Amino acid sequence: MGLEKGSLSIHSENIFPIIKKWLYSDHDIFVRELVSNACDAITKVKRLDAFGEAKIDMTDEFRVDVILNKEKKTLKFIDNGIGMTDEEIKKYINQIAFSGAEDFLNTYKDKGDIDQIIGHFGLGFYSAFMVADKVEINTLSYKEGSQAVKWTCDGGTEFEMEPSDKTTRGTEITLFLGEDGTEFEGQYKIQATIEKYCSFMPYSVYFDVEDKEPKKDEEGNIVVEELKPLNTIEPLYVKSPSTIEDDEYKEFYRKTFNDFKEPLFWIHLNMDYPFNLKGILYFPKFNNEFEMTEGKIKLYNNQVFVADNIKEVIPEFLLLLKGVIDCPDLPLNVSRSFLQNDGFVKKISDYITKKVADKLNGLYRTDREKYEGFWDDISPFIKFGSLKDEKFYDKVDTSILYKTTKEEFFTKEEYFEKYKDKVKEDMYYATDKVQQAQYINMLTDIGIDPVLFEHSIDAPFMSFIESKAENMKFKRVDSDVSDLMKDTEEIDEEQNKKDVEKLTESFKKALNLENLTIKLESLKNTEVPAMVVLSEESRRMSEMMKMYSAGGFDESAFPTNEELVLNRNNKLVQYTLKEEADTDLSELISKQIYDLAMISHKPLSPEAMTEFIRRSNEIMTKMI
């Protein structure tokens, strides 16, 4: 053939410059597309050899080479795959949006498993023009007697085709990098991009710099460096779980996510019907601010990286995990970057959710001790998942644990069975073991061990559980005075009323608090002079208003209904009731009782804490 010129035939409403600029969301994606196409070309020629339609020397290594020339500002993608004839270039390159892979699939659809053809998206080759001013294809078909062809295009709709002197089967694509591709003139950028998108490509991908400074030994002799593939041809997730050791799972995790903290455990996904899906999901250790942390789930299509954390496939709460998922059946659009709306995607999402729930339930049933050891790390994830997906909650409900202040673990059924004679339908909880120690001790003294809710996810989780579990209520340890804490000795109601009036008057005067509500109870624990309690409903309302006010919440504008419960059986309270009590001392005791109770309820303001310390010193001075 002689030199041939022509115009690209565009099978689309979009003109070529628009395709060039807007086909892909990320410019570096051209690396993925060209390497994927190269892998396709190798797969095709191997299939043809298997079908007996091509004679290939199978002893040669099938590989893809990416070669950078910094001085010339070129980037080459070389494969030893099927190659193309001039007629195939006209068909697959000059006619934009005609997919060579699709045509190949149609031709050989009745000849065995050919699902591993990657490039069925049509426009991948043209991503090269996002970074290149000119692109050159030099190719030789596998067909005997074929003439090598060189195709050149400068990014417009004009091209040139002519014979070339290439003598080896395959395709060499050269990108002449332009202004939009200057960042890819550096070897580290290219290498990082290959590792990002091509880590699990099915054939070895090598990278080299053509005009690099030669490496020399101590004597000045040039050392030939052996190139190593940047990818893993057979990633761990494609293997059978029964053949994989734990150390291999951990090493794959470290290498894939650059995380040297060992994962807690993992789930190997392996499904062939009704869709093909493989992958591994890892449970990392979660910190107490997990909502600020997002894991990373890498989505692949036939070992080709698509994107991180695609929410259409991966339920939102599972994005706290780390993992890889490969699903060749995903309905991707032309750029492979976005999933089309499809009911099939929902089925995949449901399957992944089910597998995670099954893993958690299985671990709970078969190794309860190990499961409890993981609980502090995985509970925020499970609670968040329950809030986000009720189907997930329904699956894991019986495996949700509640950790007590004594670090024992119960399901809610186990908790209520243990304390059925005491708590009825109320589950007491603490949010701060130190600050609420007094309240916790008063409950443990009567045989009730409160559960611990120390995480920010716990407040909405409690409300959710209450909506799902009939009649069950959560009460913080300082939300009321349980009848179990009270002394059974009968008190004269009339006398109790007079005592409350006296104490209310004296405490209001001492504390200068007009809206103070006081109750008088006889508690079994005689050492505690007073408790500040706030109803669960009022607390939750207050916390919700704080959360939605974005830091601008003014507590004085929305006063809570806190009550000061004084203990009749405590000597300090008894002293303030005496007619002959010293007025100054009684006032001092009243203030101290109130602050001590408040400290166990919530942090004092800086001013109140300063006054409390000053007063404590004054009291100790009086003891000298």
Q: What is the 3-state secondary structure (H, E, C) of 222-281?
A: EECCCCCCCCCCCCHHHCCHHHCCHHHHHHHHHHHHCCCCCCCEEEEEEECCCCCEEEEE
CA distances from 530 to 477, 563, 569 (A): 14, 10, 10
pLDDT of residue 7: 65
In the predicted structure, residue 290 carries a pLDDT above the cut 70: no
Report d(CA 504, CA 482) in Å as an integer. Answer: 22
Query: Which pLDDT band, with edges at 50, 70 and 90, does 108 fall under?
Result: very low
Domain 4-223 has CATH 3.30.1360.20: no
Containing 566, the helix (H) or strand (E) segment is: strand 563-567
Give the residue ranges of DSSP H helices in 367-483. Answer: 368-388, 390-396, 412-418, 437-445, 458-468
Percent of the chain with pLDDT over 90: 46
Q: How confident is the model at residue 97 (pLDDT cuts 50, 70, 90)?
A: very low
CA dihedral 285→384→463→417, nearest 10 degrees, is -60
At 604, list the tokens: 């004092």
pLDDT of 117 reads 39
* Contact present, 166 and 138 (Cβ < 8 Å): yes
> pLDDT tens across 530-578, in order?
999 988 888 888 777 776 665 555 555 455 678 999 999 999 999 988 8
- How far apart CA 551 and CA 600 sit, in angstroms, is 24
Give the pLDDT confidence score for residue 20 in this predicted structure: 54
Q: Which amino acid is at 519?
A: K
| 3-state class (DSSP) for residue 326 | strand
Q: Are strands 426-430 and 451-452 parallel, antiparallel or unpaired?
A: parallel
In this structure, what token pair is assigned to residue 543? 């916390």
Of 78 and 601, the structure prediction assigns the larger pLDDT to: 78
Q: What pLDDT, on a 0 to 100 scale, did the predictor assign at position 122?
A: 45
Q: Give me the pLDDT at residue 261, please.
A: 85
pLDDT score of 271 more than 90: no
CATH class of the region 390-484: alpha beta
**Candidate from 272-276, 280-284, 523-527 with smallest mean pLDDT:** 272-276
The mean predicted confidence, pLDDT, of the chain is 84
Task: Quote the tokens at residue 260.
Answer: 């040297």
What is the pLDDT, as a whole number, of residue 98? 42
List the single range of 34-48, 109-123, 483-497 with lowest mean pLDDT.
109-123
User: What CA–CA distance (Å, rounded) separates 391 from 385?
Assistant: 9
Query: Where in the chain is CATH 1.20.120.790?
Result: 489-534+549-622
Q: Which residue bears the tokens 């003014």?
A: 554
Give the model's pLDDT for residue 340: 52
Summarize pLDDT for 116-126 with one digit per residue, the tens: 433 433 467 88
pTM, two decimals, is 0.78
pLDDT of 350 reads: 87
Q: According to CATH, where is 3.30.230.80 located in the chain?
A: 236-366
Greater pLDDT, 508 or 342: 508
Q: Which of 137-151, 161-175, 211-225, 575-589 has the lowest mean pLDDT?
A: 211-225
pLDDT at 621 exceeding the cut of 80: yes
Percentage of the chain beyond pLDDT 70 is 86
The single residue listed with the structure tokens 């002689």 is: 2
What is the pLDDT at residue 612?
Answer: 92
> How do residues 210-261 score in pLDDT, each as one tens digit?
988 777 777 777 777 888 999 999 999 999 999 999 999 999 999 998 888 8
332 DSSP 8-state letter? B
Output the CA torsion 30→33→36→40 (10° steps).
Answer: -130
pLDDT of residue 458: 92
CATH number of 489-534+549-622: 1.20.120.790
Higher-confidence residue of 306 and 8: namely 306
Q: Do the beta carbons of residue 303 and residue 326 sit within 8 Å? A: yes
More confident position, 2 or 368 = 368
Q: How far apart are CA 194 and CA 241, in angstroms?
A: 27
Q: Is the pLDDT of residue 292 over 60?
A: no
**Looking at residue 50, what is its pLDDT?**
86
* Cis status, amide bond into 606, omega within 30 of 0: no
- Identify which has the larger pLDDT, 282 or 19: 282
Q: How confident is the model at residue 82 (pLDDT cuts 50, 70, 90)?
A: very high
Which of these, 301, 284, 281, 193, lies nearest to 237 by C-alpha position?
Answer: 281
Can you say whether residue 477 is alpha, beta or left, with left for phi > 0 and alpha for psi between -120 and 50 degrees? alpha
φ, ψ for residue 493 (rounded to 5)?
-60, -40
E strand or H helix at 170: strand 170-177
For residue 25, the model assigns a pLDDT of: 63
Tell me where in the chain the CATH 3.30.565.10 domain(s) lie: 4-223
Comma-separated ranges of CATH 3.40.50.11260 domains in the chain:
390-484
CATH architecture of structural domain 236-366: 2-Layer Sandwich (3.30)
Band of residue 310 on the pLDDT scale cut at 50, 70, 90: confident
pLDDT surpasses 80 at 112: no
Q: Please state, in angstroms and rounded to a whole number, the distance separating the CA atoms of residues 89 and 150.
A: 9
